[in-house]
Structure 1
Amino acid sequence: MPLDPQLEAMFANQPEWPPIRNIPVPVLRESVRSSSIQLPPPQVSLASVSDRTIPGPNGEIPVRIYTPEGKGPFPVTAYFHGGGFVVGDLDTQDMIARGLAAGAETIVVSVDYRLAPEHKFPAAFEDCWAATQWAAANAAELGGDPALIAVAGDSAGGVLASACALLARDAGAPRIAAQINWYGPGIHPIPEEGSALEFANGPVLRLEDAHYFWELHIKDESDYDDFRASPMKAESHKGLAPAFIAAAECDPIRDAVEAYGPVLEKAGVEVEVKRYPGMVHGFVSWLGFLPGAQEAMADACAFARKQFAAARQTA
């Protein structure tokens, strides 16, 4: 299927994004930030949005807490933004956190984890895991239910969410009710086949960009074998939380995203994998105006609500 007509029209009026390897990291971060904060937010109402810091393994971690309208206690979801582990912050994917909080009727703790190349693997994961533990331990204080914890993320954040779900299972706590992953690949490095070749030149994300982000993120190639970098490489996937995985059709890493689904299914994990026609990597960030993004958010929220309801019944 061709690129979504609305996206095609949008890209036609913009200069082509240059290969990120040629852009200094500070410039790249500011460019992504400035373009992201101009995007319209979803038209949702929330009870409150507040910023604070929480304890982390290497100092305080900034977080933003979104509380839905209605009567709690609510489920609590730790959310991790995308950006290749190199760019992104609490503002760049604020729209996704808002949509998730309202649509899934969950408190969302959005995490401003440490970024590469200043902080190499596994720094980002360590911050996200600390935030997941904090969200569970402090759920009641936030107006949440400590028995209803979820993890969610987009792109790099989806990898982090998948990894946190694995470690939560291994650690025995917190019990994760659902994991949501918008276009975060299950394996690294990205296999150079299928969608990686078909969409090697984008739009939006090039295969070379994905490789470069990981060059900045990892210390050496042995990190690729760590489940915190490649969730598919975990020794076992049995007993994991139900998973929602969203893939963009016109995305070089699409196949690496979707590949995690059959692995989970084979291990007996409830999983829903959905490919969104005509969409590109990062499309959920256009939640404020793009129907495909709105569909992907609605699907993820419906999945989360279903899992929260099931968890309440078994609690």
Structure 2
Amino acid sequence: MPLDPIIEGMLSQQPEWPPIRGIPVDHLREAVRSSSTQLPPPPVTLASVEDRNIAGPAGDMAVRVYTPEGSAPFPIIVYFHGGGFVVGDLDTQDMIARGLSAGAESVVVSVDYRLAPEHKFPAPFEDSWAAIQWAAAHAADIQGDVALMAVAGDSAGGVIASACALLAKEAGAPKLSAVLNWYGPGVHPIPEEGSAIEFANGPLLRMDDAHFFWEMFIKDESDYTDFRASPMKAPSHTGLPATFIASAECDPIRDAVEAYGPVLKKAGVEVELKRYPGMVHGFVSWLGFLPGAQAAMADACSFAKKQFAAVRQDA
């Protein structure tokens, strides 16, 4: 299927994004932040949005708590933004957190984890795991229900969400009801085959861009054997929560995203894997105007609500 006409029209009206490898990190972060914060938010209404500081492994860490309209207590979704572990913050994917809170009727805790290259692997995972523990311990304080918790993320954040589900299973708590993963790959390094070849030059994300982000992130190649970097490499996936995986058709890392689905299914995990036609990497950030993004958000929210309802029924 060809590129979505809305995306094609949008890309034709702006200069081609240059290869990331040639951009200084501080300039790259500012460019991503500038372009992201100009995007329209989804047309949703929330009861409140509040910035907080919580204790993290390396000191204070910022989170943003989104509370939906309705009657508390609400389910809790801890959300991790994308950006290759190098760029992104609470503002760049604010639109995703808003859509998720309203659509899933859940309190969303968005996490401002540390970024590479200043903070290499596994710093973002350590911060994110600490945020999950904080959300569980302070559920009542944020009008949440600790018995109804999920994790979510896009791209790098999807990797974090998948890894934190494995950490929660290993720790025995908190009990997670669902994982929502928009185009976060299940394995690193990305295999040089299939979509990695077909879409090596984009649109938008190039295969070399993905390699560059990981070169900034890992300390050495031994990090790739850690399940936090490659969730597919965990010794066991049995007992993981139900997982929603969304992939973009025109994305070089599409096949690495989709590869995690069969691994989970083989372990007896409930999986909903959807490929969105004509979409590119990062497309859910265009939630404010792109029907494909709206569909991917609606599907993820419906999946989460179904899992929360099942937990309520069993309680």
TM-score for both structures, normalised by structure 2: 1.00
Paired with 1:82 and 1:301, the residues of 2 have a C-alpha distance of 18
Q: Which residue of 2 aligns with 1:51?
A: 51
User: What does residue 181 of structure 1 align with?
Assistant: 181
> 2 CA distance for matches of 1:134 and 1:269?
26
Q: Deviations over 1:136-158 (max 9, x none)?
A: 11111111101011000000000
Q: Kindly state the Cα deviation for residue 313 of structure 1 after the two structures are TM-superposed.
A: 1.7
Give the aligned partner of residue 96 of structure 1: 96
Residue equivalent to 1:124: 124
Q: Tell me, in whole angstroms, the C-alpha distance in 2 between the residues paired with 1:258 and 1:145.
A: 31
Q: CA deviation digits over 1:195-232, x for unaligned, max 9?
A: 00000000110000000000000000000010000000
Deviations 1:40-93 (A, max 9, x none): 000000000000111100001100000000001000110000000000000000
2:83 counterpart residue number: 83
Q: Measure the CA separation in 2 of the matches of 1:127 and 1:288.
A: 29
Letter in 1 for 2:19: P
Cα deviation, residue 253, structure 1:
0.2
Task: Give the Cα–Cα distance (whole angstroms) in 1 for the partners of residues 141 and 50 of structure 2.
Answer: 14
Match of residue 21 from structure 1: 21
Distance 1:279 1:56 in 2: 35
Letter in 2 for 1:188: H
**Structure 2 unaligned blocks of 5 or more:** none
Any idea what the Cα deviations from partners look like across 1:225-270, whole Å, max 9, x if unmatched?
1000000000000000000000000000000000000000000000
Report sequence identity in percent. Answer: 78
Is 1:143 equivalent to 2:158 in the alignment?
no
Please give the secondary structure, in 2, of the residue aligned with 1:163.
helix
How many residues are paired up? 315
Q: Compute the RMSD of aligned alpha carbons.
A: 0.4
Secondary structure of 1:130's partner?
A: helix
- What is residue 247 of structure 1 aligned with on the other side? 247
Distance 1:137 1:240 in 2: 21
Cross-structure match for 2:300: 300
Distance 1:69 1:279 in 2: 31
Counting only pairs closer than 5 Å after superposition, residues 167-246 of structure 1 correspond to structure 2 as 167-246=167-246
Displacement, 1:26?
0.1
Letter in 2 for 1:183: Y
Question: Which consecutive aligned stretches of 4+ in structure 1 deviate over 2 angstroms post-superposition?
Answer: none
Q: Which amino acid counterpart does residue 180 of structure 2 have in structure 1?
A: I
SS for the counterpart of 2:149 is strand
Give the 3-state SS of the residue equivalent to 1:228 in structure 2. coil
Distance of 1:264 and 1:193 partners within structure 2: 21
Structure 2 residue matching 1:151: 3-state secondary structure: strand
Cα distance in 1, alignment partners of residues 47 and 108 from structure 2: 12
Aligned-partner residue type, residue 11 of structure 1: L
Distance 2:160 2:93 in 1: 15
Report the equivalent of 1:10.
10
Using the size of structure 1 for normalisation, the TM-score is 1.00
Unaligned runs of 5+ in 1: none
Cα distance in structure 2, aligned partners of 1:151 and 1:111: 11
SS across alignment from 1:136: helix
**In structure 2, what is the equivalent of residue 280 of structure 1?**
280
Which amino acid in 2 is paired with 1:138?
Answer: H
The one-letter code sitting in structure 2 at the alignment partner of 1:55 is A
Helix, strand or coil for the counterpart of 2:146? strand
Query: What residue number does 1:262 align with?
Result: 262
Q: Distance in 2 between matches of 1:181 and 1:311?
A: 20
Q: Kindly indicate whether residue 65 of structure 2 is the aligned counterpart of residue 65 of structure 1.
A: yes
Q: Distance in 1 between matches of 2:271 and 2:2?
A: 27
C-alpha separation in 1, matches of 2:91 and 2:314: 36
User: Which residue identity lines up with residue 119 of structure 1 in the other structure?
Assistant: H
Task: Using the TM superposition, give the Cα deviation of residue 305 of structure 1 relative to its aligned residue in structure 2, in angstroms.
Answer: 0.2
Which amino acid in structure 2 is aligned with residue 146 of structure 1? V
| CA distance, structure 2, for counterparts of residue 222 and residue 313 of structure 1 | 43
CA apart distance, 1:314: 2.1
The aligned amino acid for 1:135 is A
* 1:25-40 map, 5 Å: 25-40=25-40
**Displacement of 1:312:** 1.2
Output the amino acid matched with 1:110: S
By how many angstroms is 1:35 displaced?
0.2
